[in-house]
Amino acid sequence: MRLPNNAHVAIVDGENFIVMRNSGTALEPKLGSSEKPDLSVTNFSAGVKHQDPVSQQHGRTDLNELAHGAAAAEWLNEKSISGEISDVLVIADPKTLGEMRRHYHSELEKRLVGEIDKTLSGETTAKIEQVIVNS
C-alpha cells in the first residue's frame, strides 16, 4: 500500500486508539509521533445491529468495545472536518472497523487512503510498517 508522507495512521481496537504519522516515503513508511487521543465513549447506540440472538447468547458483542470504535470514528471525523487530517489510513480489527464505517463522515471518507482489517494494537512499529507495505 502506498502511504503518503505525513499521512495519519489510526490503529484501533475495542479498547485502544493510537494515531501515528508517516515521516517516510509512500513506499517506505516510517511511523512516528504517536498520540493516544482521549475519547469519550458514550455512543452506546453503536452495535445495536450486532445484538442478534446468537451474539447475545455467546457474549460475542461488547457494547463498550463498539462504542469505543464509534468514538474513534467521531474523533477522526472531527479532525477531518477541521482540516487537521488530510490523509488517513485506518487499521482496526474487523468488528471495530465495521462499526467505525457506520460513523464515517463524508469528509473523513474523502481523506481515507485505505483500511486494513487486522488487530495491530500492541504490535511494534516495525511490524505495523511491514503490514502497511504488504497490504
The predicted structure's pLDDT at residue 66? 81
Residue 50 lies in a domain: yes
Is residue 1 domain-resident? no
Overall domain count for the chain: 1
8 A C-beta contact, residue 42 and residue 56: no
- 39 lies in some domain: yes
Amino acid present at 2: R
**pLDDT computed for residue 34 by the predictor:** 81
Indicate the DSSP class of residue 43: -
Number of other CB atoms surrounding residue 119 within 10 Å: 17
Domain with residue 53: its CATH number is 3.30.420
Residue 109, Cβ neighbours under 10 Å: how many? 11
Rounded Cα gap, residues 71 and 16, in angstroms: 11
Strands 17-22, 31-35: pairing kind: antiparallel
* Per-residue pLDDT tens digits of the chain, which is 135 residues long: 999 999 999 999 988 999 999 999 999 999 997 888 887 655 545 544 444 444 444 455 566 788 889 999 999 999 999 999 999 999 999 999 999 999 999 999 999 999 999 999 989 999 999 999 999
Dist CA 76 CA 82 (whole Å): 10
β-strands 112-116, 8-12 pairing: unpaired
Domain that holds residue 88: 8-134
How many alpha carbons lie under 13 Å from residue 106 in its C-beta half-sphere? 0
Instruction: Tell me the residue length of the chain.
Output: 135
Q: Cα–Cα distance between 59 and 52 in angstroms, integer?
A: 11
Phi then psi dihedrals of residue 2, to 5 deg: -90, 125
- Domain membership of residue 3 (yes or no) is no
- Looking at residue 12, its pLDDT comes to 95
- Structural domain includes residue 82: yes
pLDDT of residue 45: 53
